[in-house]
Structure 1
């Protein structure tokens, strides 16, 4: 794949190459900082630039200068995840991810979120089995402030770990588990499989989020000891990328982190791939519609010499529509989904094979298991072709390149590689690692790790349908018998001496100059408008064709037709079958996708710029020569119907469907799920799809966005074929009268739900970029538009009722709405509704405060620095300009509004828009446990059905 790297070397040198040798480029260093190394240029290689340093306390520091956008990304990765926990004390690493946002000695409770949000930035943290990371992306002038925040929670967290904060976050973690695991279809799959895959004392045998019993058992003392053991600077990597001055950045790093003492020594854990002697069958019943079969086979560990070949084996077996699994499972109608993967972690990897049964061919998972085994045997008979490997390798290169489009992507890659392998930039090494895999390598790892090997085989079946499991369980988890004593780390009083006052928040530098993407406009021969921007950081091209209409063109009785048509256009063309079409795309490392929304159908194209011409040739087939054959239709429609039934088990989907009906009415297409219902989709025919295609795919409905490293003239030449497209714009049917929204509670029963989904709201203004809709968003920001909003701080941080609560105004070209929403613990459903009501009423009555106004202005005025970094972000920005016919400088107009808006203006709007007597309240949850409490709130409660 040398042509790609050669092209990169000339096209994006300024973005991803660092010239010079280490001895020549290191800046003058502060005392206590040691230079280690930096990347050096190679004209035939892809590199992420970095400079590596180490503080005397062991903190590893990586700097990656990139002046292409006025932003910085800060990442602190601790080499501690759930694998560092003790048996019986699971969930501590993830618990700490939450606790480290709750303030420290010099940062007040909830101040971390406020500081970052007010700076116009974004932030988060994540935990997995092997590491925890915290990160912020902010305008470049805010870097010192971010380093102050991160250093304070590294060195000064424990004084803020109070019993009250501990209990609130314990409830928040339980809510997260309820929302992401217990209340989600198939949500317990991974924790059950890992129990069976690994011995009880293996660090991957328990879930990252923890067992509920362990969460209940944990104490503040446990948490403090866990922090002291693992969160020292010598177990961390600080990575900073973006528009930075390396010398100044190092000085700040040393100032804030240098005096923090090292923690206990940390030794890398031994690699521990699983071993199985016999197949382990396990099963569970769940609130699902379709049975799922999962097979996990233990393999190696991350960066083992066989990892790359195993990854490519997984891709060939079941990585997409051209794979053996897709052909045997999905194309032949036995499954609605089927895939093979090879996820790798620090200590162990597994080959994973799963399929969701299609009841039209019988839902017995024993039958699916037989097809899985026959598919593996077919691979053995067929072997590996040169084309198999070529496709997988070019896709790997494309993924690597797309990962370099953002500063956060580069920083995350550097941090990951340093944490686990001690080498920050392995980009070129990894490309070579995959490109060097041979057909013989793939066959060898198949024979070594997969053929005739024991596996964990899990069946998840609908409640009451155990007859569908693949086989009777032959393995059960044993009760945990573990030492529940402390970690053996005595509490230590650490005194840190500084020459400055850490309680003082650093001042931000001057606001960076925000350069809007330069754009160009040109019409094709038939009048189609094209808007574009040149982005030279990576040699890639993004093209988005938007067709006005979408779901809005439909009669309500045809709900689901727009989505079904989009799905059919991912199938055969007149000259290529579905798998042949995908195979051609895979050879190019390109993608073409079609999707439908409420008011539009989108055709999205991503390509390496060197492969744009053959990709657009395939696009022509997709746009104008789709086959719409009956065989594809029956399969696609069948899958669509199964997905609708599957969605009926998802509380959030049920809430969306019920809310659409309440606010938009059954006479309008917006009042129905965009996927349709069983009744509407069952009635749809192939003739309906063809007719909708004729209405939707017309030149008069189309506009085009292009973001590429190629210049305007070259892009227009390549898009000239679209100028041959014919057809007039399709008028929208008249909107029917909308229902009157009643101030009542509407309860949709979800028996046994672990959480309740709440929506409270009303209709509001349609979209406008500089009028009342935009102002409503500003008004709402302190109420429920930011993490540290009144709503979220109340329900999540103060009460522990939810993992997250929010309010917001959303709008399209005709309709808009205000919605307050959250998924809450089932046992506090009525209390949560009451808190929403109280907060909305208080904001209606009293409005925004002067401090909240200042916070909102600071936050929103600075966040534009983060909006236009990647080609995809630029494409979305240009697409909005086209869709709503906005002025090219509408962002500056918005900035002027933000700077000049007053408390009085926003309070008048709050008084107008936040009238509870105009709002409906929807609850999707367990009727038996919630009905009586909801009735006590003083609203009429109406039971809904869908």
Structure 2
């Protein structure tokens, strides 16, 4: 869903930001400084310097010395919208291809080098741009520049037919995992074909049509690269603990010689108008029918975009919105939301609804009720309170987006790519702050009221009559033979190889590893037994806190599975002094967020607030936590939603696999049961059971509060004591019995998901509970090269070598009560048996032969350098502090971990592998089409036993 950025009601004064536009050469040859932006005491600003290179590359540098890391982003102004009819998916394919090595970087080496540096990396593609990014300790900056320059200027010599075929198969696996095997996911492609005219660049999916990729040839994709991936179509953004004057010569060294690509022109914006409603439908493996109405509107950063965003919030942006109150609160719909996804060339206004099965309402009824809501809005109009709360809410989101260097760099890159103004943040603030009630009504009347829409019905297989109306539109289909004759071909645009005074094949050495300062911690406790741990972070004027109440999944009885989750859900409903809608309004007016979730040992309350609003936010937290209303009406709706959500999850292969696997690991204990309950326990559960669980377990003593704030300890302690000091009581301790299960030898447990294009595989066993620096910690080090990083043995085998899966991994998972070792992947259905053999081969080989010397060194380097990234954001710090409170390690435990890592020998790693990686002692579970999988699995020599996940046992 599109993230909307909104401004404070009062604009930041223009004088706060000093911009100078300079047309002279910088001291580095070939790089001209064109803009310098500084900020003085601005709440929302990103200081930077922008340069333009002779070859057209835009370079933006943001200095932020708060953490010893650097985030580097290269954004190319090319996405699926630059493709041609019949040649879709090329931009996304290059997201994969550009990690496969270049002229001076070996195959798979990009991932390996960033991982070894203790960094993180990825790439993303959408319709309008592709970006590649990495966050690493700052001493590896030059190496990252070398990597990015090599794939910008020296990729094609390393693009082989073999790599092309391998990544084409990887893309197909990605599609199977995230589209073909996911309920409702296929609707987006059909809506796009119905909404946009034939040949429109948004009429095909970003991932592309697989038949287009099958038809593509190596020369096609090479031509696409030459056309779009030149420096003059890219923005290089660098942010972090850098010195601009030291960075510029490095940028010039690695990028200046890369020749320009063909010129890139802006695309024409196209505002669509439909002549009439277009009804389309699809059958899918879903539990509930779904209706989605899509209306064409404007385009990104059009003067009316912001007002349409506000309209979407008023219609369905929270529990006080019109559609929520009319449909969800009245139990007519399970969910309803409105949003406006905006892209460079066009935006749409989307409304999505799932009818409540108990309401008897059809998709046609949903459509009528949505249209009735439009009429209600036309009568009601826009209230100033609507604007005020939405502006505050969105401004806070923007502040939170800037809590990391990555967030700031991403903003600069986005603004520069799509507006040419990296400092667009202030214009974005202005366009939302200046919205009036009249603006919102005008865009409603112009783009929504009485306008035609694409109306998509997704119905369960075999039930086409559930569609809102009969299909009345058939999109034009691509005809390969005819199109090949008439359409223009992508031409080769040669790039001249540069003559350079240095050898690009020599990888730059890393600098001195920067010192990482751990957060300075403070502790406090209250008379009623609250434990408090905090740290001060002055990077943004925000406060994040985590409240952990010892009332988790493991506190419930087996016969009451789901009571803890229902209790957590009820805390999000009415309180004694607020209705759910009033609470949502109050939070929106502050721009604050309160999220309640269930863990094994705790109910967690995550709070994010601008510090200036912390008192009001904590008062709302207190209201939710200590004064829930527990009304019969709320409980009835929440319980029914839980039941329907459970039924919906039964259509998701990954969920089924995790559920059935958990049952194998933990047998009949409470740990085996789903957090949300089962079809056996939920129907008979009453409100009094929820109230009883709350009264027994939601007590002050033992509750932990973790804080990360720009405010000092004394202020925070006083606020906590004032609001929660009167809370009393102590909850009963967990009495948990988790007997070890018996492993059935030579058996594969099979969960049937008829027609599934992929199989979910889980292989594993019960293992170690979590510890900070003991055997669990060491087992994680041992697992790193087996299946704990992108270049792991498992990933390289199943994804890169065999193309069986999009991703595959192994991991040790644990909490203070129990743990497991698990190998997991979603694989092509036709190679399920082969994938199991490969898993077994890798596990046994690692147990028998152990880690190599090179792998051992790689593991130690990669993990030892991660600390630069560990404590950057408030959420990072919250997780670190929460671990300290939960496991109470010695104060010097970080140094102890470093000592363990530095001294763990190959012999110790190999002993751990031999002890814990034992396939003969593991469960084997597969979720997929039983009819076709059973013979395949039996042919391996396994006994196949079908099982039913705990959720659906009666």
TM-score when normalising by structure 2: 0.96
- Shift in Å at residue 312 of structure 1? 0.5
Is the partner of 1:467 in helix, strand or coil?
helix
In structure 2, relative to structure 1, the CA distance for the partners of 1:129 and 1:748 (3 Å cut) is: same
- Shift in Å at residue 873 of structure 1? 1.2
Is the partner of 1:295 in helix, strand or coil?
strand
In structure 2, relative to structure 1, the CA distance for the partners of 1:511 and 1:570 (3 Å cut) is: same
Q: How does 1:777-796 map to 2 (within 5 A)?
A: 777-796=780-799
Structure 1, unaligned runs of 5 or more: none
Match of 1:867 among 862, 867, 870: 870
Match of 1:572 among 568, 571, 574: 574
Is the partner of 2:34 in helix, strand or coil?
strand
Match of 2:771 among 768, 772, 776: 768
Aligned to 1:587: 589
Is the partner of 1:336 in helix, strand or coil?
strand
Aligned to 1:669: 670
Confirm or deny that 1:57 pairs with 2:55. Answer: yes
In structure 2, relative to structure 1, the CA distance for the partners of 1:687 and 1:131 (3 Å cut) is: same
Q: Contact 2:6 / 2:398 at 8 angstroms: preserved in 1?
A: no
In structure 2, relative to structure 1, the CA distance for the partners of 1:811 and 1:691 (3 Å cut) is: same
Confirm or deny that 1:894 pairs with 2:893. Answer: no
Confirm or deny that 1:145 pairs with 2:148. Answer: no
Aligned mates of 2:911, 2:298 — CA distance in 1:
63
- Shift in Å at residue 6 of structure 1? 9.1
Confirm or deny that 1:625 pairs with 2:627. Answer: yes
Q: Contact 2:315 / 2:321 at 8 angstroms: preserved in 1?
A: yes
Aligned mates of 1:889, 1:2 — CA distance in 2:
43
In structure 2, relative to structure 1, the CA distance for the partners of 1:45 and 1:641 (3 Å cut) is: closer
Aligned to 1:803: 806
Aligned to 1:854: 857
Deviation readout 1:503-555 (Å, 9 max, x if unpaired): 11100010011011111001112121100001111111112110124010111
Match of 1:282 among 271, 280, 283: 280
Aligned to 2:694: 693
Q: Contact 1:363 / 1:468 at 8 angstroms: preserved in 2?
A: no
Aligned to 2:557: 555
Confirm or deny that 1:746 pairs with 2:746. Answer: no
- Shift in Å at residue 3 of structure 1? 12
In structure 2, relative to structure 1, the CA distance for the partners of 1:443 and 1:553 (3 Å cut) is: same
Q: How does 1:17-166 map to 2 (within 5 A)?
A: 21=20, 28-41=26-39, 46-166=44-164
Confirm or deny that 1:181 pairs with 2:184. Answer: no
In structure 2, relative to structure 1, the CA distance for the partners of 1:788 and 1:524 (3 Å cut) is: same
Aligned mates of 1:75, 1:493 — CA distance in 2:
23
Aligned mates of 1:653, 1:585 — CA distance in 2:
32
Q: Contact 1:394 / 1:589 at 8 angstroms: preserved in 2?
A: yes
In structure 2, relative to structure 1, the CA distance for the partners of 1:493 and 1:380 (3 Å cut) is: closer
Aligned mates of 1:921, 1:250 — CA distance in 2:
54
Aligned to 1:602: 604
Q: How does 1:352-363 map to 2 (within 5 A)?
A: 352-363=350-361
In structure 2, relative to structure 1, the CA distance for the partners of 1:2 and 1:42 (3 Å cut) is: farther
- Shift in Å at residue 930 of structure 1? 1.5
Is the partner of 1:141 in helix, strand or coil?
helix
Match of 2:385 among 384, 387, 391: 387
Confirm or deny that 1:407 pairs with 2:409. Answer: no
Deviation readout 1:200-222 (Å, 9 max, x if unpaired): 11000000001111111111111
Match of 2:660 among 658, 661, 675: 658
Aligned mates of 1:59, 1:381 — CA distance in 2:
52
Aligned residues: 939
- Shift in Å at residue 363 of structure 1? 4.5
Aligned Cα RMSD in Å?
A: 1.9
Confirm or deny that 1:420 pairs with 2:418. Answer: yes
- Shift in Å at residue 738 of structure 1? 3.1
Aligned mates of 1:555, 1:527 — CA distance in 2:
25
Aligned to 1:717: 718
Confirm or deny that 1:248 pairs with 2:246. Answer: yes
Q: Which moved more, 1:424-433 or 1:117-126?
A: 424-433
Aligned to 2:917: 914
TM-score when normalising by structure 1: 0.97
Q: Contact 1:542 / 1:604 at 8 angstroms: preserved in 2?
A: yes
In structure 2, relative to structure 1, the CA distance for the partners of 1:763 and 1:867 (3 Å cut) is: same
Confirm or deny that 1:944 pairs with 2:942. Answer: no
Q: Which moved more, 1:389-398 or 1:696-705?
A: 696-705
Aligned to 1:479: 477
Q: Contact 1:791 / 1:805 at 8 angstroms: preserved in 2?
A: yes
Deviation readout 1:651-699 (Å, 9 max, x if unpaired): 0000011001100012x11111111112211121101100111122111
Aligned to 1:211: 209
Aligned mates of 2:354, 2:606 — CA distance in 1:
27
Aligned mates of 1:672, 1:931 — CA distance in 2:
27
Q: Contact 1:6 / 1:44 at 8 angstroms: preserved in 2?
A: no
Q: Contact 1:525 / 1:724 at 8 angstroms: preserved in 2?
A: no
- Shift in Å at residue 876 of structure 1? 1.2
Deviation readout 1:336-375 (Å, 9 max, x if unpaired): 1100101110000011100111100025100111110001
Is the partner of 2:701 in helix, strand or coil?
helix
- Shift in Å at residue 43 of structure 1? 5.2
Aligned mates of 1:151, 1:283 — CA distance in 2:
46
Aligned mates of 2:582, 2:501 — CA distance in 1:
67
Deviation readout 1:9-37 (Å, 9 max, x if unpaired): 99xx9xxx87685669x995221111111
Aligned mates of 1:883, 1:476 — CA distance in 2:
58
Q: Contact 2:22 / 2:34 at 8 angstroms: preserved in 1?
A: no
Aligned mates of 2:568, 2:890 — CA distance in 1:
31
- Shift in Å at residue 945 of structure 1? 2.0
Aligned mates of 1:45, 1:850 — CA distance in 2:
50
Confirm or deny that 1:305 pairs with 2:276. Answer: no
Confirm or deny that 1:877 pairs with 2:850. Answer: no
Q: Contact 2:7 / 2:395 at 8 angstroms: preserved in 1?
A: no
- Shift in Å at residue 577 of structure 1? 1.0
Q: Contact 1:141 / 1:511 at 8 angstroms: preserved in 2?
A: yes
Aligned to 2:546: 544
Q: Contact 1:756 / 1:924 at 8 angstroms: preserved in 2?
A: yes
Aligned to 2:952: none
Q: Contact 1:184 / 1:650 at 8 angstroms: preserved in 2?
A: yes
Aligned mates of 2:561, 2:623 — CA distance in 1:
27
Confirm or deny that 1:509 pairs with 2:507. Answer: no
Aligned mates of 1:452, 1:28 — CA distance in 2:
56
In structure 2, relative to structure 1, the CA distance for the partners of 1:303 and 1:908 (3 Å cut) is: same
- Shift in Å at residue 378 of structure 1? 0.4
Q: Contact 1:781 / 1:856 at 8 angstroms: preserved in 2?
A: yes
Aligned mates of 1:759, 1:866 — CA distance in 2:
30
Aligned mates of 1:713, 1:18 — CA distance in 2:
33
Aligned to 1:647: 649
Q: Which moved more, 1:336-345 or 1:598-607?
A: 598-607
Aligned to 1:611: 613
- Shift in Å at residue 916 of structure 1? 1.1
Is the partner of 1:170 in helix, strand or coil?
helix
- Shift in Å at residue 315 of structure 1? 0.7
Structure 1 runs (4+) greater than 6 angstroms displaced: 1-10, 17-20
Aligned to 1:221: 219
- Shift in Å at residue 871 of structure 1? 1.1
Is the partner of 1:729 in helix, strand or coil?
coil
In structure 2, relative to structure 1, the CA distance for the partners of 1:63 and 1:860 (3 Å cut) is: same
Aligned mates of 1:929, 1:106 — CA distance in 2:
45
Aligned mates of 1:820, 1:688 — CA distance in 2:
37
Q: Contact 2:26 / 2:32 at 8 angstroms: preserved in 1?
A: no
Q: Contact 2:8 / 2:392 at 8 angstroms: preserved in 1?
A: no
Q: Which moved more, 1:329-338 or 1:42-51?
A: 42-51
Is the partner of 1:351 in helix, strand or coil?
strand
Match of 1:525 among 524, 527, 533: 527
Aligned mates of 2:369, 2:795 — CA distance in 1:
48
In structure 2, relative to structure 1, the CA distance for the partners of 1:41 and 1:815 (3 Å cut) is: closer
Aligned mates of 1:646, 1:376 — CA distance in 2:
29
Aligned mates of 2:587, 2:491 — CA distance in 1:
56
In structure 2, relative to structure 1, the CA distance for the partners of 1:873 and 1:9 (3 Å cut) is: farther
Aligned mates of 2:528, 2:493 — CA distance in 1:
75
- Shift in Å at residue 890 of structure 1? 1.8
